[in-house]
Amino acid sequence: MMNSEQIKQQEDRYVANTYARYDVAIVSGSGVRAKDADGREYIDFTSGIGVNSLGFCDPGWVKAVSDQAATVQHISNLFYTEPCTKAARRLIELIGLNNMFFGNSGAEANEGAIKAARKYSHMKYGPHRSEIVTLEGSFHGRTMATITATGQDSFHKDYNPFLQGFSYAKMDDLDDLKSKITDNTCAVMVEFVQGEGGVNPLDPAYVDGVAAICAESDILLIADEVQSGIGRTGKFMAYEHYGVTPDIVTVAKGIGGGLPIGAIVFGGKTKDGFAPGDHGSTYGGNPVACAGADYVLSRMDEGFLANVHEVGDHMKERLLTIPGVADVTGIGLMIGIALTDMKAPDVVKSCLDRGLLVLTAKDKLRLLPPLVITKGEADEGIDIIADVLRRGK
Ligand SMILES: Cc1ncc(COP(=O)(O)O)c(C=O)c1O
C-alpha cells in the first residue's frame, strides 16, 4: 500500500490540479473516525462535505450497496429497477411532494430544476418567461448553468459567455428581491441555509415574503437542499424550519450516504412537466446508488433527526463558550464558526495535525459531521478546536 507522500506525488502528476488539497490521504474509516495512509486517526467533522450522512462504512449501508452491486450494478433507464422505485418512493413519502428524477450530483439536480422551471413557465406563459433570481452568496454548482446561478462574482469569470436569464438578489432583502423580479421571472432559487456562502440561514420573515411573492405571481420557488437537506439540519429538509413548501426541491450529497446520486423533486406544478426525451442521464437512478439512498432514507426516522438536533445544539452551546469563537451560525449539524483572531485555513491545518477533519466556508470554520455522531464524539472534536484556538496555532 502507498503512504501519503507516494499517493500525493502520483496525484500531482496525473490528476488535474482543481482542488487545494490538504496533505492527507484517507484510506479507511468507520463511523466518525477516519485513518490516513500513514496510520494516523482523525475524527471527522466533514462527512465528505455533507455526504457520508451515516459516517464511514455503516454496516447496513455497506450491505445494501454491496448486495446490490452483486445483483445488478447497472441497467439503462429504458428498463425499470426495484432499487430506483424503492428509493424514489421513500424520498417522496418523506418529503411529501409529488414525484422525482434521479441524477448523479447536486449541480445536475439544479440544472434539471432550472430546466423544469423554465419549461413550466414557457408552456404556460410563453418563452419570454425564463428568468431566474438567485441570492448573492449562494452556491448552486459548477456546470455552466449552475455557476451562472451561483450568486458569487468570483465564479463568473474565465468561462464566458454565461447563461442568460439570471439575476441576483441580496439575501434577506425583500425590496431588493422585488426589484429583481420582472414579468419574465419564472423562478426564485434559494438555499434556506447557505452552505458554501458561510453557513447562513435565511431570515424567517424574509422567507415568508419570498414565498408570498412567488405564490402571487406563479413564480416557482426552488429549494436547493443539496447541502442542507436529508436530515442535515435536524429536519428532513431545511425549509421545514420555515413552514413553506417549495415547488421544486433539489437534493444530493447526503442522500447517497457516499455514492453519487442527486434528485429533483417536483411539486404539483411541475410533476408532469418533463415528457420522455426532455431530460435524462445514463447513470441516473443507478441501482447501487439507489440501494444506498434507500438505506440512508430508511434510517431517517424521528429518533435519527432528534439526534441531529440534540447534538447540533450541544455543539453550538459548547462552541460559543470557547475563547476565539466570535459567533456560531447554522442549524442542526450544519455549523459555521466565526473566529475572533485566527484565520479559518490555519485552524483547519492545526486541527488536521491534531487529528480532526474540519472545513471552511468563506472566512468561517464549517462543521458538517456525520449525522449519527454522538455527543461524546462531538466533544472529542470540539476539545481539539478549543485547544487550537487557545494556543493560537
Ligand atoms: C447548495 C449546493 N448546491 C449545489 C452544490 C453542487 O453539488 P455537486 O458538487 O454535487 O454538484 C453544492 C455543493 O457544494 C451545494 O452546496
β-bridge pairing 359-361 and 220-224: unpaired
Residue holding cell 434539471?
112
CA distances from residue 344 to 153, 319, 332 in whole angstroms, order as listed? 21, 15, 21
Instruction: Round to whole Å and give the CA distance between 199 and 300.
Output: 23
Number of Cβ within 10 Å of residue 53's Cβ equals 30
What is the reported pLDDT for 216? 97
What is the reported pLDDT for 393? 84
Parts of the chain belonging to CATH 3.40.640.10: 61-298
Going 15 to 21 to 27 to 29, the CA torsion angle's sign is negative
Which CATH architecture does the domain made up of 61-298 adopt? 3-Layer(aba) Sandwich (3.40)
Q: Whose CA is closest to atom 13 on ligand 1?
A: 141
Whether the CB of 111 sits within 6 Å of ligand 1: no
Whether the CB of 227 sits within 6 Å of ligand 1: yes
Whether the CB of 195 sits within 6 Å of ligand 1: yes
Parts of the chain belonging to CATH 3.90.1150.10: 4-54+302-391
- Find all residues with CB under 8 Å of 117, minimum gap 6, and list them: 132, 186, 187, 189, 220, 222, 247, 248, 270
- Using the mean position of ligand 1's atoms as its centre, give its distance from the Cα of residue 215 in Å: 26
Instruction: Round to whole Å and give the CA distance between 109 and 305.
Output: 24
Give me the active site residues, please. Answer: 139, 224, 253
User: Which of 46, 104, 139 gets mutated to test ligand 1 (max ligand atoms within 8 A of its CB)?
Assistant: 139
Nearest partner of 192 among 151, 149, 222, judged by Cα: 222
User: Which of 222, 237, 253 gets mutated to test ligand 1 (max ligand atoms within 8 A of its CB)?
Assistant: 253
- Using the mean position of ligand 1's atoms as its centre, give its distance from the Cα of residue 106 in Å: 5
Residue range 282-305, pLDDT digits in tens:
999 999 999 999 999 999 999 999
Count CA within 13 A, CB hemisphere, residue 12: 11
Q: Reduce the secondary structure of 238-287 to three states and give it as a string.
A: HHHHHCCCCCEEEECHHHCCCCCCEEEEECCCCCCCCCCCCCCCCCCCCH
Angle separating helix axes 59-69 and 287-298, nearest 10 degrees:
150
User: What residues in the chain have per-residue pLDDT under 70?
Assistant: none
- Using the mean position of ligand 1's atoms as its centre, give its distance from the Cα of residue 264 in Å: 13
Using a 10 angstrom Cβ sphere, with 0-12 exposed, 13-18 middle and 19 or more buried, the burial of residue 252 is buried
Helix (H, G, I), strand (E, B) or coil at 136: strand
Question: Quick check: pTM over 0.95?
Answer: yes
Instruction: Round to whole Å and give the CA distance between 130 and 115.
Output: 9
What is the reported pLDDT for 31? 98
Whether the CB of 366 sits within 6 Å of ligand 1: no
What is the reported pLDDT for 324? 97
- Using the mean position of ligand 1's atoms as its centre, give its distance from the Cα of residue 87 in Å: 21
Q: Which helix (H) or strand (E) holds 180?
A: helix 174-180
CATH code, residues 4-54+302-391? 3.90.1150.10
Going 73 to 76 to 82 to 85, the CA torsion angle's sign is positive
Whether the CB of 141 sits within 6 Å of ligand 1: yes
